[in-house]
């Protein structure tokens, strides 16, 4: 979905007035002037700087403004907090403080959404329904209920009218992003319009409960029969675009270590379960839960771990999975050549646009400080900060799923530390990485790749003739012009011409020698004339011509030999 980006796409001028007031309130009158119109005043509260050293508005003032502008802008700020490849660290730290907490909507509105979406009265769907929400955010809120089968379920409901509000806010975001790029050089470098495009894609996925339900189903399939991980069941009969009904998980939050111990469960083993699960998601399935904070990760009484809230997930294609596996193995085995090859294959290292030698040196300096340390003695957050410093320094733009992956690493590390784990992430992931790389060379995988390539060749064999016909037809009708150019042949032309000239001279020399010999040895003589030279009284014209041919052949032969000797190609 692409919303209209122009100023005309903003329906309400009152929203402009609200933004203007918010910018004024937080001491950014000059920013307001650049974005929204003529200057009214410039404020400075308590001597605090309005602009950071980057020339961009200060991090704290941006964060306060986003909070006051409402849920859509708070979610945009949360997305910005994951883009450490775009924003300096001080901005990232401020954006992480943004909290997506809003008052819950009244029960009557929740009831109205469910009945409209499912097409049945609430009492005909649920035997019991809690009117109090257990969680409320800007996009949706969650209630508990019980089906007539007796099964307890969690019901996630999209807030009514939120889609229209977000659409209007996104139109405004496009307008402001474009103005920020025009007004601030840093805004252009960051690509704020592209950031809004990314936000538009992400937020509308969150508004579709069918997408989240599909993600739960996919995780359930991936971990079917697993003894360590439990994935809740989706009740598709009651799930729609705005309502998600799923199995309710009664478990212990992962940060409640004492309660975990009270059930006779070893917290360190739970941390290993999490690490193994994450490794499988990355290197076996290519599909990972990208928000594993304590509220979304529960420990069941039997020691299994259950993941809930699948609103944020990430995908990796087979090629990226192999590159990440090589990256893990490179670090685990202290092989920086393998690390650099993996980064290059992933398209993150470009020899034409960056100093690869300097990047390799910086990467090694960063990595050596953390090598061989366990999870208890290493901070993935520190590693992440160091890596992001390299990304900013060498101007590397990371794909969204890779950023999601790095963010998930930080959260996974945080959970491991809460549980007191001393495991090494690299050591846990190493066997999964090896298995993935070996899988790429087994017979089944090779046959799969051969079949895929054969299918592609079949498609190309059908489309290429049509494409060539279309090109030739357009050229024949004068709509296109085919032009062939060659370059780099000038030296070859000169060498060919020189060789042909030498061959011609050689033929002339041979002809002169042969002709002279024939004339001198001919018994017939033509036109005698008297000549008193070296004792000769008369000479025939045929003899003169023969001698002349010999002389010419000799001179040309000597010059040709000298030329060949000078070229050094005798």
Place of tokens 């990796």: 316
Active-site residues, by number, are 291
DSSP annotation of 57: B
CA–CA gap between residue 234 and residue 154 (Å, rounded): 10
CA–CA gap between residue 143 and residue 238 (Å, rounded): 14
CA–CA gap between residue 234 and residue 256 (Å, rounded): 27
Angle made by CA atoms 453, 454, 460, in degrees to the nearest 5 = 90
Is 532 strand, coil or helix? Answer: strand
CA–CA gap between residue 403 and residue 388 (Å, rounded): 10
Element (H, E) at 156: strand 152-158
Q: Write the burial class of residue 254 (CB in 10 Å: 0-12 exposed, 13-18 middle, 19+ buried).
A: buried
Task: Give the CA distances from residue 71 to residues 142, 161, 193, in Å, rounded to whole numbers and listed in that order.
Answer: 17, 13, 19
Tokens of residue 425, six digits: 């992430």
Task: Give the CA distances from residue 294 to residues 39, 257, 305, 412, 438, in Å, rounded to whole numbers and listed in that order.
Answer: 47, 11, 11, 10, 34
Handedness of CA 544, 546, 548, 554 (dihedral sign): negative
Nearest Cα neighbor of 209 from 238, 233, 235, 244 is 244
Q: 161 — alpha (psi -120 to 50), left (phi > 0) or beta?
A: left
List, in order, residues 6 or more apart from 47 with CB less than 8 Å away. Answer: none
CA–CA gap between residue 341 and residue 349 (Å, rounded): 9
Task: Give the CA distances from residue 161 to residues 111, 140, 151, 205, 210, in Å, rounded to whole numbers and listed in that order.
Answer: 14, 11, 30, 16, 18
CA–CA gap between residue 469 and residue 426 (Å, rounded): 54
């Amino acid at each position: 979905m692409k919303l209209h980006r122009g100023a005309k796409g903003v329906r309400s001028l009152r929203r402009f007035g609200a933004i203007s007031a918010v910018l004024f309130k937080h001491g950014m009158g000059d920013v307001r002037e650049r974005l929204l119109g003529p200057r009214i005043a410039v404020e400075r509260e308590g001597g605090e700087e309005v602009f950071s050293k980057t020339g961009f508005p200060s991090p704290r003032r941006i964060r306060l403004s986003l909070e006051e502008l409402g849920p859509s802008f708070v979610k945009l700020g949360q997305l910005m907090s994951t883009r450490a490849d775009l924003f300096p660290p001080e901005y990232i730290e401020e954006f992480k403080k943004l909290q997506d907490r809003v008052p819950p909507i009244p029960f009557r509105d929740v009831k109205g959404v469910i009945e409209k979406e499912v097409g049945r009265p609430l009492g005909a769907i649920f035997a019991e329904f809690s009117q109090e929400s257990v969680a409320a955010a800007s996009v949706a809120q969650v209630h508990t209920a019980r089906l007539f089968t007796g099964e307890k379920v969690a019901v996630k409901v999209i807030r009514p009218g939120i889609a229209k509000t977000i659409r209007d806010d996104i139109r405004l975001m496009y307008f402001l992003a474009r103005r920020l790029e025009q007004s601030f050089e840093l805004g252009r470098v960051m690509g704020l319009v592209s950031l809004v495009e990314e936000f538009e894609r992400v937020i509308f996925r969150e508004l579709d409960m069918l997408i989240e339900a599909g993600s739960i189903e996919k995780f359930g399939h991936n971990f079917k029969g697993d003894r360590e991980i439990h994935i809740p069941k989706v009740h598709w009969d009651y799930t729609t675009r705005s309502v998600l009904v799923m199995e309710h998980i009664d478990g212990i939050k992962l940060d409640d270590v004492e309660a975990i111990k009270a059930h006779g469960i070893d917290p360190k083993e739970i941390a290993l379960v999490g690490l193994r699960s994450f490794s499988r998601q990355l290197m076996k399935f290519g599909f990972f839960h990208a928000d594993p904070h304590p509220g979304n990760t529960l420990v069941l009484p039997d020691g299994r771990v259950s993941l809930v809230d699948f609103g944020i997930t990430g995908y990796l294609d087979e090629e990226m999975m192999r590159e990440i596996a090589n990256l893990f193995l490179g670090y685990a085995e202290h092989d920086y050549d393998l690390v650099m090859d993996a980064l290059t294959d992933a398209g993150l290292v470009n020899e034409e646009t960056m100093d690869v030698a300097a990047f390799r040196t910086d990467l090694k300096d960063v990595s050596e400080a953390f090598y061989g340390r366990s999870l208890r003695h290493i901070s993935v957050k520190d590693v992440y900060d160091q890596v992001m410093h390299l990304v900013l320094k060498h101007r590397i733009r990371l794909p969204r799923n890779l950023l999601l992956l790095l963010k998930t690493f930080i959260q996974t590390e945080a959970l491991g530390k809460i549980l007191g784990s001393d495991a090494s992430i690299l050591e846990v992931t190493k066997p999964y990485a090896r298995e993935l790389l070996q899988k790429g060379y087994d017979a089944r995988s090779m046959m799969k790749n051969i079949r895929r390539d054969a299918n592609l060749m079949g498609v190309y064999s059908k489309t290429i003739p049509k494409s060539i016909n279309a090109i030739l037809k357009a050229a024949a009708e004068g709509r296109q012009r085919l032009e062939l150019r060659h370059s780099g042949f000038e030296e070859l032309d000169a060498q060919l011409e020189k060789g042909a000239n030498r061959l011609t001279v050689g033929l002339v020399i041979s002809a002169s020698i042969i002709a002279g010999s024939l004339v001198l040895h001919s018994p017939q003589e033509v036109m005698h004339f008297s000549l008193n030279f070296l004792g000769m009284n008369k000479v025939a014209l045929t003899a003169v011509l023969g001698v002349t041919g010999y002389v010419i052949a000799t001179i040309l032969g000597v010059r040709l030999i000298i030329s060949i000797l000078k070229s050094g190609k005798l």
